[in-house]
Chain A
Amino acid sequence: MLELTNLESGYELLQVLWGVSLRVDEGEFVALLGPNGAGKTTTLRTIAGFLSPIRGDVTFQGRSIGDAAPSAVSRMGIGFVSETLNLFPAMTVHENLLVGAYAVKDKRQIAATRDLVFELFPRLHERRDQLAGTLSGGERKMLAIGRGLMPSPSLLLVDEPSLGLAPMATLATFAALKALRERGVTILLVEQNVNTTLHLVDRAYVLEQGRIVLEGTGTELLGNSHVQEAYLGI
C-alpha cells in the first residue's frame, strides 16, 4: 500500500534520511522505532507531503506521491496525526472534527464518521462544545486522532501519540489505535515507547541515524539482542 524506496530527505541545510526503504501493506499495523533525532518524524513529514524527497521515492497505492502537496496527500487517503497535533485551538471539538472532514461532501458520511469517533473516544463527546485549546493533553491527542479519522483515510500516520502523556492516557491512546486497526485502518506508528509498541504492532522497523537498521515482527524484535540492549534495557 505504502512504499518508501531509498528515501533521502531532510531540511534545507540538514539531510536527515539517508536511504530509508520500508513497506506498509493493507490492513497492517506497522511501527517505526528509534532514538531521538533518528529521522522518524522526518519520515512521516515526507510521506505527508510537508517535505519533498531529495532522492528516492514514496509510492502510495502504486502512485508516486513524493512531490504532492500536503492537502493533496490528505485527499488521497493518508491521514497524518503530527507530534504537534496542529489542532485549531479557538474552535470547538466538534468544529475541529468538521474541518477534518473538509474533503468529504456527503453530510451523512460526515455524521457517521463523527459518531464513530465519539464512540472510539467518549471523552470527546463529553467535550463536544468545548474549545480545543482548553482540552487536556490526552484529550488533545484523542481529538487529533479523531480529526485524522474524519476523512476515513485508508492509511493513518501517527507520530508519537504517547509523548507527554500520563501512563493511563498513553494506554487509552494505544487501545484506541488497536481498536482502529481492528476496524481495518492501516496504521504507521512512530513511537519511542518500544516495549508497549512491539506488543501491539504486526511489524516494526528500527531507524537509527537516518537508516533502517532492523526490521521484523513485534515478537522477533522483542527477542532481538540489539533491541533488548538499546531500547528495552535488558
Chain B
Amino acid sequence: MKRLNSLLLLGALGLFTTACESDDPIDQPTTPEDTGITMALKTTGGDESEFIIIQENIMEGEITAQGTGIEQTGWRFYYPVGNTLFASGYSEDNMATAYVKNDEGEIVESGKFTFENALEMFGHSNDGETLLAMEIPRTGYGDRKLYFVDENTVQVEKIVSTQIYASETEEKVAWPTALEVRGNHLFIPFHKMDPQGHFTTPSPDSAFVAVYSFPDVEEEPIKIISDPRTGNIGVNGATTGLIEADNGDLYSFSSGAVMAGFSPASTKPSGILMIPNGETEFDPNYFFNVEKATGGEKLFWFDYVGGDKAIARLLTHDDGAAWGAFGRETFNQRLVILDLEAKTVTPVSNVPLHAKRYSSPVYVEDGKVYLSIETATEAFVYQVDVESATATKGAEIQGKTIKGFFKL
C-alpha cells in the first residue's frame, strides 16, 4: 500500500522518476455494454496498473484489459454508492473519481475531488445518496476526517473531524474498520493502534465501536462500546468490519490474526458480535465463536450476502508472516458461508485455498455472489450460490485480481 516518507520523497523528487505518474482520468466512454458487470481489474507486472472494465459474460473465457477499460493511476480503493462507483487513490494520486453508466451503457466519469493523503475507509448513507469516506493520519493524534460526498454531484458537502478515540497517556489512537450507518446512528468499529505509525495493536483483546449520531455527526462520539469476548473489529483495508442484516441487526467480525496485521495477536477467539436493531450496545447473549466452530481458524474478511448469511474468508492457520494475508506467499484462505443466526460455518465447495488482499463490498445478484479467487498460479472468477454453498468457476482473470464487481 502507500507509504509516505522523506526518503522516498528524496528518491521521487530527485534523480529518479518512477513510473507512478499522476493523472486525471479522461471523460471517454468505454465499449458500450448494456447489461455487463463492471469490474476493477488489477493487472500483473510493472506497476500493476488497474482498469475499470465492463463485460457481459464473466463466467466464460477471460477477463482482460487488453485494449479495453478505463486506465487508473496507481493503487485504488473501489467503493460503490447507489449507481456510482468511486475510485479513490493514494498520495501519488490524491484524488477520487466517480464513474456512472450513461444512457448508452458506457462507463463515464461523473466528477472528482481531492483530499490530502488517502481516504482509507468507506461507507454510505442508507438512502444511497452520500458517500462517507475517512482520511486517517498514519501517525500522531490528529483528527480523522470524515468526508460527506454527494453521490450525484460528486461534491464534498462537509468534512467532520473526529479522533474517534485517542489517549496520549496510553499512546493509542483509533484506526477505523467500517463506517456503518443504521437509522440515525453511525457506527465506527476501530483498532486501537500505536500513534507512531507502526500499525501495532496494543489492545487486541477487546472489540471497540464508536457510536455517533447521524447525519449530524459530532466531533465526539455519543459513546464507545467495547466487548471483551473477542478482539478488535475488522481488518485494515476492508470496509466490512461491521455489516447490517436484513432485519437491521449489525454483525461485526474480529480476526486478531498476525497474518491479518495484528501485532500482537489477540488472545481472544476470532468471532462475530451483534448489535441488535434499534440498540447501540453489543448483544451480551450473542457471540459466534468462529475460531471454536472451525477448530482454530480465524476470520480475515466477511461481507453480507442476504438471508442472515455472510460470505467469509478464514485463515486455515496463522503461521505466516506479519501482514502475510495481504501478500501472495501463503495461500491459506478458505471460503465459507456463515449463517449468522444459526452460527454455522459451511464451506463453499469447489473453491481452492487462496490468497486475497483487498475486496470491495460484494455484488450479490439472485442469490449469487461473484468473487475473484487467486491461487499460486492462476486467478479466476467464481460464482458462489449462497443457498447451496457451491461455487462455479468462471472466466480466467488476466491479471492479479479483480478488486470488485459492481452493477452500476
**Are chains A and B native binding partners rather than an unrelated pairing?**
no
Residue ranges of B at the interface with A (Cβ–Cβ < 8 Å) = none
Residue ranges of A at the interface with B (Cβ–Cβ < 8 Å) = none
